[in-house]
Homo-oligomer: A and B are copies of this chain.
Amino acid sequence: MKTAELEVVESQNKKEKPTQDQIPFGTTFTDHMFTMDYVEGEGWQEPKIIPYQPLTLDPAAVIFHYGQTVFEGLKAYRTKDNRILLFRPEKNFQRLNLSSERLSIPPIDEEQVLGYLTRLIQLEKDWVPETAGTSLYIRPFIIATEPNLAVGPAKTYKFMIILSPVGSYFPGGIKPVIINVEDQFTRAVKGGTGMAKTAGNYSSGYQAQANAKKSGNADVLWLDGIHKKYIEEVGSMNIFFKIKGEIVTPELNGSILKGITRMSIIELLNKWDIPVVERRISIDELYQAYEEGAVEEVFGTGTAAVISPVGELNWLGKKMIFNNHEIGELSQRLYDEITGIQTGKREDLYGWTIEVE
């Protein structure tokens, strides 16, 4: 990997690391961060690992006005024998470039950036926690920095990677969640930015999520923006249904995020000869199958939880309860396999992990 020009400035004031069992998500950051700048006509330049520090930007920077930005999320895991593993990180940088294309942001060199990430994790390896379920969350992102209020792609950008140790998603053991089927607000639509990991897709869901929480739900299940009928995804997860032994997940249609955990699960199910199909599935079809007692398991998938069983869906006053609010057998098997591979407890038969040496 071409990391030759990388400049590294080590922090002289190392922070105290948090107690590993009590790390709230996304508010504690490590000692260093990676930055790289883009200038139109010159390309990406000045890759640097520097002490974690505030950003200084002109108030007219495009990011503040027109939201030209993309991000990724992945994790580094510590194994029992103290190795550090990344899970399919090349998929994240591939997706970052897909998101960037949609947002008219110049692409990064995926291999090169993976090299920089590896170097950053090496430097911060003591920040990767070891308690079961914990990890070091990795947030690569790109923001448009040019000070210019004219609507249009910026001429300068900043790519950054920040790192945040995170506690277990299920500190008291896996607990199925209650989700509201959103019937008023829309997350994304064909021709929009739904398949891109870009900032605007997230804050646009806050109102629906707040409404859902008020009525005792943990998150929302989004329906398609056109018919308000076809199931798309949960707040920050893709979704799977086990119906009469077959696993169904909404097909990628341009408005659904191409989840890397989603992809891994489909690949695993194929290896295991468990039937899995990506297709349109409407909320009516799901409800009918539920009424017939055919829905055996429901689970969300994403980097945060890996597998998050759904115990209950609330849809226009109707309540669907799955597997008696307990985690299903297949959900547990998938969870054990993927987290096992991620943390080195199980053999990685698929070449999914990369060790940071």
Contact = CB atoms under 8 A, between A and B. Distances in A.
Contacts of A71: 65
19 contacts: A24-B150, A25-B150, A26-B148, A54-B56, A55-B58, A65-B71, A65-B139, A66-B199, A66-B203, A68-B206, A102-B204, A103-B203, A103-B206, A151-B202, A185-B192, A186-B192, A192-B192, A198-B203, A199-B199
Interface in A137-182: 137, 139, 141, 143-144, 147-153, 160, 162, 164
Given A64-B199, A199-B66, A57 B59 contact: no
A226 B186 CA distance: 11
A244 interface: no
Nearest to A225: B189
Nearest to A63: B64
Interface in A223-260: 225-226, 228, 235-236
Nearest to A24: B150
A60 B198 contact: no
Nearest to A166: B149
Nearest to A147: B27
Interface string A282-318: 0000000000000000000000000000000000000
B203 A59 contact: no
B149 A137 contact: yes
A210 interface: yes
A297 B184 CA distance: 36
A167 to B, nearest CB: 12
Contacts of A55: 56-59, 64
Contacts of A152: 206, 209
Interface residues of A, number: 68
Contact of A67 (B58, B191, B199): B199
B141 A65 contact: yes
Nearest to A196: B204
A149 B25 contact: yes
Contacts of A67: 67, 69, 198-204
B203 A104 contact: yes
A207 B99 CA distance: 12
A193 interface: yes
A206 B103 CA distance: 7
Contacts of A137: 149
A221 interface: no
Contacts of A153: 203, 206, 210
A151 B25 CA distance: 10
Nearest to A222: B191
A83 interface: no
A136 interface: no
